[in-house]
Structure 1
Amino acid sequence: MEKRVLLTSVFKPCGVDDLFGRKENIPELSHNQLTHYQGIFSFRERYPSLNLHVIGANIDTPVTVLDWPTIERFVEEIRKGYEYIGISFIQPNFLKMKRMVEIIKEVSPESKIIIGGFGTMIDDIERIVDVDYVCRGEGIRFMRRLLGKPAKFTFKHPPVFMSVLEVMGIPIHFIGETLRKLGLSMERGHLVSMISTGVGCYEKCDFCSTGQFFEGGYIPFVNTGREIFEIMERQEKGFGVKRFAFVGDENFFKEEDKVKELHSLIVEREKDYEISLSFSSANNLVKYDPQFLAELGLGIVWIGIESKFRLYPKNINVNLPSLVKELESFGIKTVLSSIICLEEHNKENVWEDINWHLSMKPTFSQFAHLSIAQGTLLWRKMLKENRILHSIPLEDRHGFKQIWFKHPHFTPYESEILQREAYLKDYYELGPTLVRAIEVEYRAYPNLFSSKSQILKRRAEKIKKRMKIYKPILWASEKLVPKREMAERIRILRKEIERDFGKMNPIDYLIGTSLFLLGKKKEIQIKFYGDVIQPKTTETFYNK
């Protein structure tokens, strides 16, 4: 009889201060790391635990994946008597994992307990918690060995979707699903299919958990562009999804043959796919012509620029401002990620880095603290130098509150203020990310429209259609942003769009007024009730 496996995330609530977590630990990429300080303009999203689904789909045994349970729901599930229970966690969620282990010991003592994820890089984790197995690195092969399954297997990618819930108070997910149910739209634009082409990273940045968790390398799940294309095509046919996020693979564009094969199939089959998020180091991205990347469907690319004062190999000899400008000329939006409170930073030159970052006018910005995560090269260095502030608990050790090491120029509190000021400067000077995204598309339209590439011409046509809703969005945004200077910049952009795509009509103003009221309602809600949105609890079965 096959042994049954439960794979689970840690429990909710998330994003609140309690015995097990902190309000800064938000399980949303944008609201946690990119747009948090933009108020109602912050993108709110729902993320499943992709890693658990990928493992569950590929270990050839009955698996239940439980995403974001409450404690009560977790207890209910483990009473079913699983042979193996696996918990995935990151270091700030250590106390949640520990509590879940204690509950398993009480409620289902016969179950074997496995812990996995970046949290397993904590020093002496085997001594701290009483578990049966610790999975470090890639989980599919670990679980197959544990269950006595053959080492060779055919990778199966599960259908896993990230959903855009809302922005500016607009219930995007609800509207998208309602239109689909009414038969008014078969394309689910609010959903993004999450695809894991592999895990790890070839770069060996000293601060990064990813490369070192996977032993400083990259482990592919698929080896060809054709395999990736077939996954995308299955998701389109089965679920009406044309937007994809390549996650887990920190340097998708390094393998040129794979990328070029994917490009040729997309162009040949005339697929209007959008890669809504992919990660790449700058030195790999510059190998490609921006038109090629636009034809591939690249919509947003995440680039770690880190700092002018510490040049990582991935950024040497790369003209980053030029790269960003060239990408945006084809409608490709950028996430630029900088590190603040590097050892080279002081109270003056850190602002030189921040202003350099802002001068490139990215669509999204991340200003992460230098994070000394356990298990990294940097952790070992800082530990040896006796610079770790052990009084700061694991729950507070993440890149979006304060540093937890002795810095020559910043206290932890000063680092917290610095980060807040950097994000607010980004928001006030560059405007809401939603508006920036609209501007990138508008500026790229003439270039795409005049292209000889049919895919890019169709991309231009889509932008033209979206301008109809962009105009009332901008009109409402003018009245919702907190500063007059921001409103004026948005007004100028809207007037330019009206000049090229037609003036707003009475219906547009009616829509704009509705959007304004939704935004105001959201402002009031945040003021009195906060902005926490708990992730949805879901249960998914594999190999049943």
Structure 2
Amino acid sequence: MTKKLLLSSVFGPFGVDDAFGHKENLMELFHNQVTKAQGIASLRFHHRSFGLYFLAENVRAPVTVLDFPSRNDFERELKRQRYDAVGISFIVPNFLKAKEMARLVRQHQPEAQILLGGHGAAIEGIENLIDCDHVVRGEGIRWLRQYLGEDPHAPIHHPTLISAEHKRLFGIPTPGACGLLVPGVGCVNGCRFCATSHFFGRTYTPFFASGHALFEQLCRMSNELGTQEFFVMDENFLKDKTRAQELLSCMEENHRPFSFAVFSSAETIEAFGVENLARLGVFFLWIGAESKHETYDKNKGRNLQALIRNLRDHGIAVLVSGILFLEHHRPDTISQDIDYLIDLQGVFTQFMMFTPLPGTQLYKQYKRQNRIDFDLPFEQWHGQHLLNFHHPHFTRAQATQWLQEAFQQEFDRNSSSVYRMTETYLRGYETLASLGNRDPWLRHRSHQMLDRAQELRILLPTLRHFAHDELERARINTLEARFDATLGSLDPTSRALQLAAFGIANAHALRCRFRRDLDQPRFSRTRYRWPSPMHRWQQSLESLAAGLRKPSEQPIG
């Protein structure tokens, strides 16, 4: 008999103080970890729980996916449909939510098996902390297929998904869909603090072996979604240089100019080349700078400031990620690292607390040294409020204050990320337009960059009105003059859009004066391979008819 599966993310609400979580754990990546000090100028959007959809797409069994349900939504589903197994995906800070969901499964469907997955499954002894039947660590598609008695080595089918939804700037909905591409999972760099690398065994598992296969997948998703823009969820997509170059060749030969947001490292960027990144259509890049003094092989001996400047010159908005409260950090040295990260002049800067997470080398080391603070509940192990280990030079309260001040200093000195992103895309247009004089492909890339710059240009009056300080206001005025000199004045339609955007932003700012600007991700229920209602009625009638037959009329065999 075919097993029926329920796969679910943990329940909301998020970012509130309740029995299951804290207000600091927002379900918005940038607003929680990157632009959190930038107020109304913070970038706002939500991501789906992508792994659940990959699992559902790659088995033959009937599956229901609940993404960001409420507790009542989850309980209602348990009451309305019987399942053979319930999978719960969670991260460490959502431990209590996963535990409560497992309790609800045992209460309403005691015969169903409970499967725990996601990064929370790395918690030591999780099978004794949460009532469950199986704990799934690492890449879960092959495990789930084997659990269901299916071929674990069958080809992996990539679902068509939107990367981000409910995208807003200043409360203004931002246009355009961005698809999701997952070329593979894991990372071979194996940085000692990286939960993702360790979760996948410090190896890389490709879902696509060649650039040609990636290209075909991109064409299919582009046609379905009506977009050429994709977020590449891969720890170091360009590490396989041959695959990336083959993808670029396919794009150029078939004139399909897809654009990408990617993760990468300094070593990989230098090997691939910044101009090649522009040719590939990279418009956003997340790079781990980590620390000036604690360098990893990926950064060793490289001038990150010059590299980031070059990337921005080519229209690539760089997110610089850094770590605070490393072993060598004292009040003087942590100040040096904060200055170093700010002076890299990224478009975005992420400051994360050094956090030994279960499964990592760092966790094992700190546990041996008895440095982990197990009195701090898992709900606080998210790296944006309290240290989860004993640091010799910072108390919990001091660490929280330093983190807040780092974000504030970055905003004070570099102005809003929206301003920086707008300036970067204009700068990229100027560079690519010059290179495009001798290269038709880069000429087309310059037109794409121009479209990005012109979209954000609409926000300049709003940016100026809500400017953080006089320094940012002066920078915006200079940027507007550059736009006028380079591209001429805006047409009447664009000016009308500027007025509309300004009005929406002011209305949003007024609402935020009276209530907390807290967005909850949208709940969705997706069913895979379930019989249609008509088919279920037919099955019910056939079962009823079979029950009414005389014994001699029962089918044989």
Match of 2:13 in 1: 13
Equivalent residue number for residue 185 of structure 1: none
Tell me the residue number matched to 1:167. 169
Report the 3-state secondary structure (helix = DSSP H, G, I; strand = E; otherwise coil) of the residue aligned with 1:348: helix
Q: CA–CA distance in 1 between the matches of 2:454 and 2:424?
A: 16
1:237 maps to what in 2?
Answer: 223
1:502 alignment counterpart: 488
| Match of residue 263 from structure 1 | 248
Larger radius of gyration: 2
Equivalent residue, structure 1, for 2:434: 450
Tell me, in whole angstroms, the C-alpha distance in 2 between the residues paired with 1:471 and 1:302.
Answer: 23
Read off the aligned partner of 1:48 and give its amino acid letter.
Answer: R
How far apart are residue 471 of structure 1 and its match? 3.5
2:54 partner SS = helix
Match of 2:350 among 344, 347, 366: 366
Q: Write the distance in 2 (CA, Å) between the matches of 1:43 and 1:372.
A: 28
Which deviates more from structure 2 when the two are superposed, residues 518-527 or residues 283-292?
518-527
Deviation digits for residues 183-227 of structure 1 (CA, Å, limit 9, x no counterpart): xxxxxx2x2111211111101111111111111211111111111
Please state how far the C-alpha of 1:86 moved relative to its aligned partner. Answer: 0.1
1:10 Cα deviation (Å)? Answer: 0.2
Aligned pairs for 1:113-512 within 5 A:
113-161=114-162, 162-172=164-174, 176=175, 189=176, 191-247=177-233, 249-275=234-260, 277-451=261-435, 452-504=438-490, 509-512=495-498
SS at match of 1:304: strand
CA RMSD in angstroms comes to: 1.6
Q: For 1:52 and 1:280, how far apart are their aligned partners in 2?
A: 25
Question: Does the 8 Å CA contact 2:422/2:457 hold for their aligned counterparts?
Answer: no
Q: Deviations over 1:131-184 (max 9, x none)?
A: 010001110011011111112201110111122521112122xxx4xxxxxxxx
CA distance in 2, matches of 1:245, 1:165: 14
Query: Equivalents in 1 of 2:329, 2:217: separation in Å?
Result: 44
- 1:71 deviates by 1.1
Name the aligned partner's letter for residue 129 of structure 2.
I
> 8 Å contact 1:475–1:491 — kept in the other structure?
no
Distance 1:466 1:299, change over 3 A: closer
Does the C-alpha gap of structure 1 residues 9 and 466 become closer, same or farther in structure 2, counting only changes over 3 Å? closer
Secondary structure of 2:298 counterpart: helix
Q: Which amino acid aligns with 1:244?
A: F
Q: Secondary structure at the match of 1:143?
A: helix
1:534 to 499, 511, 520: 520
Q: CA–CA distance in 1 between the matches of 2:202 and 2:492?
A: 58
Paired AA for residue 282 in structure 1: A
Could you tell me which amino acid in structure 2 is paired with residue 253 of structure 1?
L
Q: Deviations over 1:107-138 (max 9, x none)?
A: 11111110001101111111111101000111
**Do the aligned residues in 2 keep the contact of 1:402 with 1:416 (CA within 8 Å)?**
yes
Distance 1:265 1:529, change over 3 A: same
- Tell me the distance in 2 between the aligned counterparts of 1:429 and 1:319: 21
* 3-state SS in 2 of match to 1:149: coil
Partners of 2:32 and 2:228 in 1: CA distance? 25
DSSP 3-state at the match of 1:314: coil
Structure 1 residue 91 corresponds to structure 2 residue 119: no
Q: Residues 500-528 of structure 1: CA distance to partner in whole angstroms, max 9, x if unpaired?
A: 21235666555434323322222232232
Q: Is the 8 A contact 2:264 2:285 kept in 1?
A: yes
Match of 1:520 in 2: 506
In the alignment of these two chains, the number of paired residues is: 526
CA distance in 2 between partners of 1:467 and 1:90 (Å): 36
Taking the aligned partners of 1:53 and 1:467, their CA distance within structure 2 comes to 33
Contact 1:480 1:516 survives alignment (8 Å): no
Distance 2:302 2:95 in 1: 38
Query: What's the TM-score once normalised by structure 1's chain length?
Result: 0.94
Distance in structure 1 (CA, Å) of the matches to 2:489 and 2:412: 27
CA separation in 2, counterparts of 1:85 and 1:192?
30
Aligned 8 A contact 1:471 1:504 in 2: no
Residue 405 of structure 1 deviates from its aligned partner by 1.1
Q: What letter corresponds to residue 171 of structure 2 in structure 1?
A: G
The answer on whether the counterparts of 1:41 and 1:167 sit within 8 Å (CA) in structure 2 is yes
Q: What is the letter of the counterpart of residue 269 of structure 1?
A: N
**Distance (whole Å) between structure 2 residues aligned to residue 11 and residue 75 of structure 1:** 10
SS of residue in 2 equivalent to 1:429 = helix
Deviation track 1:375-431 (CA, whole Å, cap 9, x = no partner) reads 211111111212122221110111111212111211111111111111111112111
2:251 alignment partner, SS class: helix
- 5+ residue gaps, structure 2, are 531-557
Amino acid at match of 2:172: I
Contact map agreement 2:7 2:64 (CA 8 A) in 1: yes
Alignment partners' CA distance in 2, 1:152 and 1:240: 31
Q: For residue 338 of structure 1, report the CA deviation from its aligned partner.
A: 0.3
- The answer to whether the 8 Å contact 1:480/1:520 transfers is no
Shift of 1:94: 0.1
| Residues in 1 aligned to 2:320 and 2:368: alpha-carbon distance in whole angstroms | 31
Question: 2:217 corresponds to which letter in structure 1?
Answer: I
User: How far apart are residue 466 of structure 1 and its match?
Assistant: 4.8
- Give secondary structure in 2 for the equivalent of 1:286: helix
Work out whether residues 225 and 260 of structure 1, in 8 Å CA contact, stay in contact via their aligned partners in 2: yes
1:530 Cα deviation from its structure 2 partner: 0.8
